[in-house]
Amino acid sequence: MIELLRADDWKDYELIDSGQFEKLERFGTHIISRPEPQAVWKKSLSETDWAQRAAAIFKKDKQSSDKGDWVFKKGTQEQWMIGYQHQQLQLKFRLGFTSFKHLGLFPEQSENWKYIFHTIKDNKYQSMPKVLNLFAYTGGASLAAKAAGADVTHVDSVKQVIHWGKENMMSSGLEDIRWVVEDALKFVKREAKRGHLYEGIILDPPAYGRGPDGEKWLLEEMIDELISHCMQILHPTDSFIVFNMYSMGLSYLIMDNLVTRYRSNPVHKQMGELYVEDGFHNKLPLGTYWRAKF
């Protein structure tokens, strides 16, 4: 099934306005302005409105396409907490300003958190299911899986975001996630050699990146190899995969081809785009997804 999924059940997050390659967002008590390459339409609010509302504005570094600096209004806290709740799923996140414009949370991913939580909760596993989260960042999907009762392994190549994820776990009243600082492809290859199996695999690979030992990651060149090894360690029955990408120009059909060439029997297959709607009904696309059960 092809479906557009709107992240619309937040109380602590709001997309106020978007346009002219920027977005104006509220995270809890903080309103921020930062770049957004997919917001190609005109803003609905005036530049004056944006400037008056934003407590923090991200300014891109002219020498770098990724990095930049934040400009703060006086009294703006540089770290703060927000919460997310969906039925019995209750999570808390510590947010903070980074030099890559990110805050430690991608709100549109709440649609995948709900899927992960219910998929694990609704399946009557004979023993605790094992879930692997690759490129796991600060752990929203890991927390959802753990809250549902899974044995979770969280893999990311950046030690600082692993520590950040641990903070979120403790703030959410959870424990016993396995934290691994590792290159995702290297980790999956090793698990395949060991014959380890997982009932769930979650992956959100970036367009490019570096592993902890300088390993180079290029999505278009390496994603097929990664998926082939993921399918080797995904349990043949009663399992699921959640595959997400935020790389402009890459279709969810690519994701479908990548997975189904190695595992041709998915059930309840879903694919499409994740989006958030601003206060003026502009739908901002924020990544493609593919997910299914086996």
pLDDT digits (tens, 9 = 90+) for 221-271: 999 999 999 999 999 999 999 999 988 778 999 999 999 999 988 999 999
Domains of the chain, by residue range, sit at 102-293
Strands 200-203 and 216-218: unpaired
> Which among 109, 66, 69, 72 is positioned nearest to 91, based on CA atoms?
109
Give the integer Cα–Cα distance in Å for 9 and 14: 10
Q: How far apart are CA 65 and CA 256, in angstroms?
A: 30
Residue 37: predicted pLDDT: 94
Structure tokens, 242: 């959640």
- Asked if pLDDT for residue 64 goes beyond 80, the answer is no
Average pLDDT score over residue span 87-93: 97
The confidence score (pLDDT) of residue 6 equals 98
Q: What is the pLDDT of residue 39?
A: 97
Q: Confidence class of residue 216 from pLDDT cuts 50, 70 and 90?
A: confident
Quick one: what percent of the chain has pLDDT higher than 90? 88
Cα separation, 66 vs 78, whole angstroms:
20
pLDDT at residue 210, rounded to an integer: 86
User: What is the bridge-based pairing of β-strands 200-203 and 130-134?
Assistant: parallel
Pairing, β 56-60 against β 30-35: parallel
Q: pLDDT of 141-151, one tens digit each?
A: 999 999 999 99
Question: What integer pLDDT is reported at residue 215 of this predicted model?
Answer: 85
Least confident of 26-35, 60-69, 120-129, 273-282: 60-69
Whether residue 76 has pLDDT greater than 80: yes
The CA-based diameter of the chain, rounded to the nearest angstrom, is 59
Radius of gyration of the chain from Cα atoms? 19
- Quick one: average pLDDT of 108-133? 95
Nearest to 180 by CA among 195, 197, 165: 165
Q: How far apart are CA 216 and CA 207, in angstroms?
A: 11
How does strand 79-86 pair with strand 89-96?
antiparallel
Span 102-293 CATH architecture? 3-Layer(aba) Sandwich (3.40)
User: Which 8-state DSSP code applies to residue 106?
Assistant: -
